[in-house]
Amino acid sequence: MPELLCLGGMMIGVWLSWLRFRDIFTPLAVYVMVWCTAALLFCLRLINYIEITDQVVLLVAGSIAAYAIGCLVCPKPTDSEKLRPRFSQAAFDRALKTLMVFQFVAFLIFVQQMHSRFGLGTYLVDPSQIRGEAEDWMKIGVLAIPLYLHYPILILTFYDYLVNLRLRWFNVVGFVLPFVQELLWTGRGTLVLFAVTLLFMWVYFHGWRTLNRRLVFTGVLASAVLIGAFLAIGSAYGKLISEDLGIYNMSDFNVESSNMLLLAYPYMYVTSPLPTFQEAIADVHYYSGGTRTFYPAARVLLGLGVLRDIPEWTNFDFYFVPVPNNTYTHLFTFYQDFGRLGVIVMPFLLGMVHTYFYWQMRTSPSVWSIAAAAISIGTVCFSVFICLTSTLLIWECYLALYLVWRYVSASESVAGEELLALSKGGATKGA
């Protein structure tokens, strides 16, 4: 019965998306598919998870419905709101190169710090040592601001490639450096975020509304590469599930072969946040009032002296469900801030915001609108794990892309005015 409900939810999500948007690549369809897929996999019971209470089932189902309603009620722009996008290649190149300079300088500083602490050779001989101390060395302060520019740089580089269909030297740097930085950060999840964002930028740039062979092939290939990379990096960190790893009890897994045990590793990451959410909310004894949901803004308020306590964007305490896990879905952040009401209201508002970006992309495609819509899908795909919309990475990326878009538009407008003035001056002189 639960399996049928999950499958039915998927079909309803896609049907509503097509009915409202004539498109299956919408925040509504993706959000419902992601959550129903996680729930369907959970029902397979490859791991003997703790039982989910009716309260948690209702909270999760209510959040999915609230997000869907937020998507559906977001108003569609009128024809008068449709704008012709402007794009100045020269201004775009200047903006991209400027961001690259700031990010590259910060990257060199970070590499020097890691080499002084661990030696870069440790990444090759014992990367698990670096990963094990990540909670400490990832506290890099203001250096994070220029380093987080690697995400918008990757997006801008890909957009430039989509527009011009050619690679220049700084485009190559814009593709390679963000992935190298994430490898040095021992990141796995962010690589998935990168892939999802670029995939949907590709879809939105071409205006695709349904599946085609090219898209299916690319999606399957990208999924295979990501799963392979996930397993390879997990193996390097010594985190793959095995009988020799003491933190796992083999009796908790309903698998009979080593190959199935290997597949249980990505399965665990997708499904364990659901029961962990249940355990985590039981430990919430006070509400944070929005400091986690709007963490970057809370940090600014802390600097201005408005807040006294240092805010944190989430917890990463482990809960045994029975496998150890420390991600609790994005609903936990909303619950921490606002309780049960937040689990319903915040997904509703998020659905409206994401759909607003989507409508912008449909009516006025530009580097900003296409990227914002694609980033929204990326954060949706991570909603089963953590509240990515609370991180400085996402807020800074939105801000950087918006400023680049405004700069490109302003430069195009100024260039047009100068050209018009010159043409009028030439006409007057000729007369």
CA distances from 366 to 159, 175, 415 (A): 9, 20, 18
pLDDT for 423 equals: 47
Is a pLDDT exceeding 80 seen at residue 50?
Answer: yes
Phi, psi of 320 (to 5 degrees): -100, 120
On whether residue 364 sits in a domain, the answer given is yes
Cβ-based neighbours of 292, under 8 Å, separated by 6 or more: 298, 311, 312, 313, 314, 333, 336, 337, 387, 390
Q: Is residue 122 part of a domain?
A: yes
In angstroms, the CA 64 to CA 344 distance is 8
Residue 289 lies in a domain: yes
Tell me how many domains the chain contains. 1
Least confident of 38-42, 139-143, 407-411: 407-411
**CA nearest to 106, candidates 27, 207, 177, 6:** 177
Banded model confidence at residue 87, pLDDT cuts 50, 70, 90 = confident
Q: pLDDT value at position 81?
A: 60
Q: How confident is the model at residue 28 (pLDDT cuts 50, 70, 90)?
A: very high
Rounded Cα–Cα distance for residues 85 and 80 (Å): 14
Say yes or no to pLDDT of 313 above 50: yes
Residue 209 has, within 13 A of its CA and on its CB side, a CA count of 9
Which pLDDT belongs to residue 430? 41
- Per the CB < 8 A criterion, the answer to whether 278 and 329 are in contact is no
What's the pLDDT score for residue 245?
59
- Helix ranges restricted to H, 120-272: 122-125, 127-132, 134-137, 144-147, 150-164, 169-184, 189-206, 213-236, 258-271
Model confidence at 247: pLDDT above 90: no
Distance separating alpha carbons of residues 356 and 416, to the nearest angstrom: 29
d(C-alpha 341, C-alpha 46), whole Å: 32
Does residue 422 register a pLDDT over 50? no
Among all chains, which residue has been given the structure tokens 């997904």? 347
Domain enclosing residue 168, as ranges? 2-423
Does some domain include residue 275? Answer: yes
CB 103 within 8 A of CB 384: no
**Type of residue found at 355:** T
Please state, in angstroms and rounded to a whole number, the distance separating the CA atoms of residues 143 and 365: 33
Query: SS3 for 230?
Result: helix
Q: Has residue 430 been placed in a domain? A: no
Round to whole Å and give the CA distance between 156 and 150.
10
pLDDT of residue 244: 58
Res 426: pLDDT: 46
Question: Confidence class of residue 83 from pLDDT cuts 50, 70 and 90?
Answer: low
DSSP-assigned beta bridge partners for residue 320: 324
Q: 41-50, 52-61, 146-155, 419-428 — which is least confidently predicted?
A: 419-428
Give the model's pLDDT for residue 134: 84
pLDDT tens digits, residue range 193-203?
999 999 999 99
Per-residue pLDDT at 351 exceeds 90:
yes
Residue 431 lies inside a defined structural domain of this protein: no
Residue 89 falls within a domain, yes or no?
yes
For 174-216, give the DSSP string.
HHHHHHHHHHHTT-SHHHHHHHHHHHHHHHHHHT--S--HHHH
Task: Count CA atoms closer than 13 A to 182's CA, side-chain side.
Answer: 21
**Average pLDDT rounded to a whole number, residues 92-107:** 96
Residue from 175, 147, 181 nearest 160 by CA: 175
Burial 162-174 (b: 16+ CB within 10 A, else e): beeeeeeeebebb
pLDDT in tens, 263-274: 788 899 899 999
Question: 175 pLDDT exceeds 50?
Answer: yes
Q: How confident is the model at residue 337 (pLDDT cuts 50, 70, 90)?
A: very high
Q: Which long-range contacts (CB under 8 A, 24 or more apart) does 163-169 make?
A: 163/87, 163/89, 164/89
* Token representation of residue 208: 């695709």
Whether pLDDT at 308 is above 90: no
What phi-psi label fits residue 75: left (phi over 0), alpha (psi between -120 and 50 degrees) or beta? beta
Judge whether 354 and 71 are in contact, CB under 8 Å: yes
Residue indicated by tokens 């960190």: 237
* Residue 253 belongs to a domain: yes
